[in-house]
Amino acid sequence: MEQTYIMIKPDGVQRGLVGEIIGRFEKRGYQLVALKLTTPSREHLEKHYADLAGKGFFKGLINYMASGPVVAMVWEGKDAVKTGRTILGATNPLASAPGTIRGDYAIDVGRNVCHGSDAVESAQKEIALWFPEGVQQYSKGINSWIYE
């Protein structure tokens, strides 16, 4: 089963959207295998966003992400990376479809409420960065009412 790293950014936490965002993944059928509320250090965020270090918005992005607690999560299930991004919506909320998290709750790209891994390989790296202690396993396995 595929795993993806999903994060509720400081704006999403401060706006009280934690339950709403978790609920969308749960109701879709994905399984929560790791969760923590944490205020990340700038060094940690610079590692997470290393690919964007050359971008003009990098400093503002790090300031925003270090401004308060985030909810770091790992969700597991079929095609979790791609479907996770679909649930979040497009990076720029103005381009996000209604019914997606960003399409329902955000306007500005610099306050887009959530993050989701963009590929299986980056998901693995992000999960290792945010959860070096590892993730949970469920003893009962896959739910036959979710998967054929």
Residue 57 binds ligand RTP (CB under 6 A) = yes
The answer to whether the beta carbons of residues 147 and 78 sit under 8 Å apart is yes
- 143 labelled binding-site residue: no
Q: Which helix or strand (DSSP H or E) is residue 77 part of?
A: strand 70-77
Q: Which stretch binds ligand RTP (CB under 6 A): 66-74, 75-83, 105-113, 125-133?
A: 105-113
Residue 86 binds ligand RTP (CB under 6 A) = no
First to last CA, the chain: 14
Which residues, other chains included, contact 10 with Cβ-Cβ below 8 Å and sequence gap of 6+?
64, 65, 67, 68, 69, 70
Q: Report the Cα 135 to chain-centroid distance in Å.
A: 15
Q: Which of residues 114-143 bind ligand RTP (CB under 6 A)?
A: 115-116, 118
Dihedral sign, Cα of residue 45, residue 109, residue 56, residue 51: positive
- 9 labelled binding-site residue: yes
Shortest separation between residue 113's beta carbon and ligand RTP, angstroms: 9
- Report the catalytic residues: 115
Residue nearest to ligand RTP (CB): 91
- 28 labelled binding-site residue: no
Binding residues for ATP: 9, 57, 85, 91, 102, 112
Interface contacts to ligand RTP, rule CB under 6 A:
52, 57, 61, 91, 109-110, 112, 115-116, 118
